[in-house]
A and B are shown apart, each in its own frame.
Chain A
Amino acid sequence: MNNHQFDVVVVGAGGAGLMAALYASKTANIAVLSKLYPTRSHTGTAQGGVGAALASEEEDHWEWHAFDSVKGSDYLGDQDAIEFMCYEAVQAVYELEHYGLPFSRTPAGRIAQRPFGGHTNNVTGKPVRRACYASDRTGHMILQTLYQQCLKNKVNFFDEFQVIDLLVVNGAVAGVVAVALGSGELHTFHAKAVIFATGGHGRIWEVTSNAYAYTGDGIAVSMRRGVPMEDMEFFQFHPTGIYKLGILITEGVRGEGGVLINGLGERFMEKYAPRVKDLASRDVTSRAMYIEMKEGRGINAGRYLYLDVRPETVNKYAALDGRKNIDGTPYTVTGEQILAKLPDIVDFARTYLGVDPVTQPMPVQPTAHYTMGGIPTNRYGEVVIDDQNTVMPGLYAAGEVACVSVHGANRLGTNSLLDLIVFGKHAGLRAAAFANGADFQPLPDDPTDFSRAQFDRIRTAQGSEKILDVSNAMRYVMSDGVGMFRTGEGMQAALDTVRGLKERYRHIPLTDKGRIFNTEMINIWELGNLLDLAEMITIAALARTESRGAHARDDFPQRDDVNWLKHSLAWVQPNGEIKLGYKPVVITQYKPKERVY
């Protein structure tokens, strides 16, 4: 009864998982396993838009989008994959519309688009309207629409199933083992192909926009089975999180004309990015904010800065910038328009800050946001496990968990939702095609042994450590040592602390001895994933003696293309140690050059 067999098993039911499921289910017998109800997935919290050069209202080209993404990646993105994504983007967005996604509309009835950080007209260098949006809940609408289409297509869902192990036999995928949260029982899913679409691991850091569920499960499960991880040192800090809480305030606020203001009342981004100012890429903007605060120009003793989207502020700076509407008239906004275009942002600010953004500026600080690294794949979602890009038969990954790499060292806003739909789709297609031409690998004799061993270790742990103490200590030290600015010394200290925490982790006693919804057990297991990832991230980051994109080192402040224009690969060895390797970046037509916004 707890044994299942499907051609393809999709793990995770966010945008990438559901897109993969929709496509794979056209030709294969599939199941989607999700630790949450699918509509709870983190894709739903994405706000501002999905990038595609539709040119709804002004000139744009997918090649411009590709160049902006390469530049945004600080030249670490693989250019063939980026070109593929940006080319596919246009049709993918139309396809979402055909699925019924309620995009906001232009006066001509087309999909509405807004400017976003790092997206430019490649001729003028000015921001271009490329983010296709549905109000400020684009991710919510993508998640809902894809889930609805999966229901329509009768996809099999196993909701609240937490995947614990990947079964590998003869170097190929044989399935996964999952625990049904409602019963606590282990289930074996025998499959020809497995697609990981489990999202990121932003819960490693203290101030984060990421959901509690974002604990790096797909990465942890597969690295324990020998799959290497790519570019783990690159993690994005989004400029505008709600002060203290880290809840995301979309870049779309700045796209609509909002500006960042320091304690002196200055619009400081013009110092750091003279051309695009507040719409510089996220790594550049977050670092600028950090510097402003460090140099004493923060607000309230340097704790935060203001994101100001009050109409008078927007209109003042739009006039100074000479920003125009499509018809050539000066760009202006009213309070009603802000409310209409950014209703959720207004709600978040009112709820969590007690601030009305139409009449008051919002206190913000950078917040841990996005995993650029992850499970290495090619552009078809096939997992590649060495520096020769050798494909592992039957294993696929898509979305934030994967590293194609289209985001390189820094992802542009709107490219995450795009990544989900483009690579989710192709992973689904490839996995189904593979399954239709392959036999099942035999299951191991005791498929659940490793899962049971992991749970037994948690169940039998002795000691008096508290899960919150260990996780808070991890978050603090990772923010301090492996955050937005890094040094060799700081990272080494963080690594030592994380290793100490891994030891303390083994002494967290399990108080819930039950089987039904044992959330304590799952939380401890998830913390184990985060600690393993924190160690790997720190080791990869220590090794990279340069600054590139989100990886900014005070002791190595320059990008070093001679030695470091390459992807890192990190393997967990059988003895638990981490081995590093590297593979080249794919360059097609965009030669690395200095990055100026």
Chain B
Amino acid sequence: MEVTVKVFRFNPEKDKKPHYETYKLTAEPTDRVLDLLEYIKGYYDGTLSFRRSCAHGICGSDAMRINGRNYLACKALVKDMHSDKITVEPVLGLKVIKDLIVDMDPFFEHYRSVLPFFINDEEPPEQERLQSIEDRERFDDTTKCILCACCTTSCPSFWANEKYLGPAAIVAAHRFIFDSRDRAAAERLKILNEQFGVYRCHTIFNCTIACPREIEITQAIGEVKRAIATGKLD
């Protein structure tokens, strides 16, 4: 099929402001939008810049806005766009560096601020710490996060105030708060109870819709809010 791909372009070494370029190409319905970008870069304009690596939705490099919604370009198939016109733009809320590449540093700073690592200073047993299947299941969903930023950069609260930790950081905290082996839930809940924590979330659900890993993000944020309100982790 013939598709028209309109791509956001910005070269910081040349352009004062961004513009769009349009490319016409032949695509298979099962092509990934990433395949189209590779083709454009290979045959139309070698300067087009974007991040990518695994190309199947696991590494989280290629989050971008496609037809107005956040996707990983490698998980967005042409047929799923339901249109022969495809517009590709960088994610919102993070500074554009070049074309589809944004500055991820603020995103990772928020991630790092919630103690996103296992904390348990008790002497571990010689073998594994035991954990029941149910206790493991309790935080299974939030272990899937690949830090692609599709959620945070689709969140109107984050667009409104970049100091908001954002859904991805809360998901990272959730993964440890509800892990029966971890011992630092209280510290994380304190961080998330602060001014730019969970209460900036207004349950708009954009994050949940955007998540390429299908994590129930709004629900996870709700669970963290409840834990803060009740002081309980059940």
Q: Residues of A at under 8 Å CB distance from B? A: 36-37, 39-42, 44-45, 54, 93-94, 97-100, 102-111, 134-135, 137, 140-141, 144-145, 148-149, 151-152, 182, 211-213, 245, 247, 344, 347-348, 351-352, 354, 466-468, 510-512, 514-520
Residues of A within 8 A of B130 (CB): 108-110
Assess the B46–A42 pair: CB atoms within 8 A: no
Residues of A within 8 A of B176 (CB): 100
- Which 7 pairs between the two chains have the least Cβ-Cβ distance? A100-B118, A468-B42, A109-B130, A148-B117, A511-B46, A152-B117, A512-B47
Q: Say yes or no: A40-B129 contact (C-beta < 8 A), given A140-B146, A151-B117, A511-B47.
A: no
Residues of B within 8 A of A182 (CB): 97
Complex Cα gap A251–B153 (Å): 35
Residues of A within 8 A of B147 (CB): 37, 39
Residues of B within 8 A of A107 (CB): 133
Residues of A within 8 A of B136 (CB): 102-105
Complex Cα gap A348–B229 (Å): 38
- Nearest CB in chain B to that of A42: its residue: B54
Contact mask for chain B residues 135-163; partner A; CB cutoff 8 A; 1 contact, 0 none: 01001100111110000000000000000
Assess the A137–B144 pair: CB atoms within 8 A: yes
Assess the B55–A211 pair: CB atoms within 8 A: yes
Residues of B within 8 A of A510 (CB): 46
Complex Cα gap A211–B60 (Å): 12
- Nearest CB in chain B to that of A157: its residue: B108
Assess the A109–B182 pair: CB atoms within 8 A: no
Q: Say yes or no: A211-B12 contact (C-beta < 8 A), given A94-B128, A148-B118, A511-B45.
A: no
Q: Say yes or no: A94-B58 contact (C-beta < 8 A), given A211-B53, A516-B13.
A: no
Assess the A94–B127 pair: CB atoms within 8 A: yes
Tell which of B43, B46, B124, B181 touches A520, judged by Cβ atoms closer than 8 Å: B46
Assess the B127–A44 pair: CB atoms within 8 A: no
Besides the known contacts A137-B144, A145-B118, 17 further A-B residue pairs in the complex with CB atoms under 8 A apart: A36-B61, A39-B59, A93-B128, A94-B124, A94-B126, A103-B128, A108-B130, A137-B58, A348-B57, A351-B57, A351-B77, A354-B30, A467-B42, A467-B46, A468-B43, A511-B47, A516-B98
CB A5 to nearest CB in B, in angstroms, measures 24
Tell which of A44, A140, A517 touches B98, judged by Cβ atoms closer than 8 Å: A517
Assess the A351–B75 pair: CB atoms within 8 A: yes
- Nearest CB in chain A to that of B76: its residue: A351
- Nearest CB in chain B to that of A472: its residue: B42
Assess the B146–A39 pair: CB atoms within 8 A: yes
Residues of B within 8 A of A520 (CB): 41, 46-47, 49
Assess the A97–B128 pair: CB atoms within 8 A: yes
CB A322 to nearest CB in B, in angstroms, measures 27
Q: Say yes or no: A40-B60 contact (C-beta < 8 A), given A102-B136, A134-B143, A351-B77.
A: yes
Residues of A within 8 A of B58 (CB): 44-45, 137, 140, 344
- Nearest CB in chain A to that of B126: its residue: A94
B50 within 8 A of A: yes
Residues of A within 8 A of B143 (CB): 102, 134, 137, 141, 144
Complex Cα gap A426–B216 (Å): 39
- Nearest CB in chain B to that of A137: its residue: B144
Assess the B42–A516 pair: CB atoms within 8 A: no
Contact mask for chain B residues 37-76; partner A; CB cutoff 8 A; 1 contact, 0 none: 0110111011101111111111111000000000000010
B177 within 8 A of A: no
Tell which of A140, A149, A467 touches B118, judged by Cβ atoms closer than 8 Å: A149
Q: Say yes or no: A515-B45 contact (C-beta < 8 A), given A39-B60, A211-B59, A352-B30.
A: no
Tell which of B53, B117, B120, B144 touches A149, judged by Cβ atoms closer than 8 Å: B117
Assess the A111–B13 pair: CB atoms within 8 A: no
- Nearest CB in chain A to that of B38: its residue: A468
B24 within 8 A of A: no
Q: Residues of B at under 8 Å CB distance from A? A: 11-14, 30, 38-39, 41-43, 45-47, 49-61, 75, 77, 97-98, 101, 104, 108, 112, 116-120, 124, 126-133, 136, 139-140, 143-147, 175-176, 179, 181-182, 214
Assess the B182–A100 pair: CB atoms within 8 A: yes
Complex Cα gap A106–B131 (Å): 9
CB B149 to nearest CB in A, in angstroms, measures 10
CB A97 to nearest CB in B, in angstroms, measures 4
Assess the B131–A109 pair: CB atoms within 8 A: yes
Residues of B within 8 A of A39 (CB): 59-60, 146-147
CB B108 to nearest CB in A, in angstroms, measures 8
CB B152 to nearest CB in A, in angstroms, measures 15
Assess the A105–B118 pair: CB atoms within 8 A: no
Complex Cα gap A40–B75 (Å): 15
Assess the B56–A245 pair: CB atoms within 8 A: yes
Residues of B within 8 A of A105 (CB): 131-133, 136
CB B106 to nearest CB in A, in angstroms, measures 14
Complex Cα gap A468–B36 (Å): 13
Complex Cα gap A104–B131 (Å): 9
Name 13 A/B residue pairs within 8 A (Cβ), A-sorted. Answer: A36-B59, A45-B59, A93-B128, A98-B124, A107-B133, A109-B133, A140-B58, A144-B145, A148-B117, A151-B117, A352-B56, A516-B97, A520-B49
CB A161 to nearest CB in B, in angstroms, measures 14
CB B205 to nearest CB in A, in angstroms, measures 20
Q: Say yes or no: A148-B116 contact (C-beta < 8 A), given A100-B181, A108-B130, A514-B14.
A: yes
Complex Cα gap A323–B86 (Å): 50
Complex Cα gap A468–B104 (Å): 28
Residues of A within 8 A of B175 (CB): 102
Residues of A within 8 A of B38 (CB): 468
- Nearest CB in chain B to that of A520: its residue: B46
Complex Cα gap A502–B163 (Å): 50
Assess the A99–B118 pair: CB atoms within 8 A: yes
Assess the B13–A517 pair: CB atoms within 8 A: no
- Nearest CB in chain A to that of B128: its residue: A97
CB A37 to nearest CB in B, in angstroms, measures 7
- Nearest CB in chain B to that of A149: its residue: B117
Residues of A within 8 A of B214 (CB): 347
- Nearest CB in chain B to that of A111: its residue: B128
Complex Cα gap A140–B120 (Å): 21
Complex Cα gap A49–B182 (Å): 23
Assess the B13–A41 pair: CB atoms within 8 A: no
- The residue in B14, B77, B140 that gathers the most chain A C-beta atoms within 10 A of its C-beta is B140
Complex Cα gap A531–B39 (Å): 21
Residues of B within 8 A of A140 (CB): 58, 144, 146
Q: Say yes or no: A42-B59 contact (C-beta < 8 A), given A148-B117, A468-B43, A520-B41.
A: yes
Residues of B within 8 A of A44 (CB): 54, 58-59, 146
Assess the A212–B53 pair: CB atoms within 8 A: yes
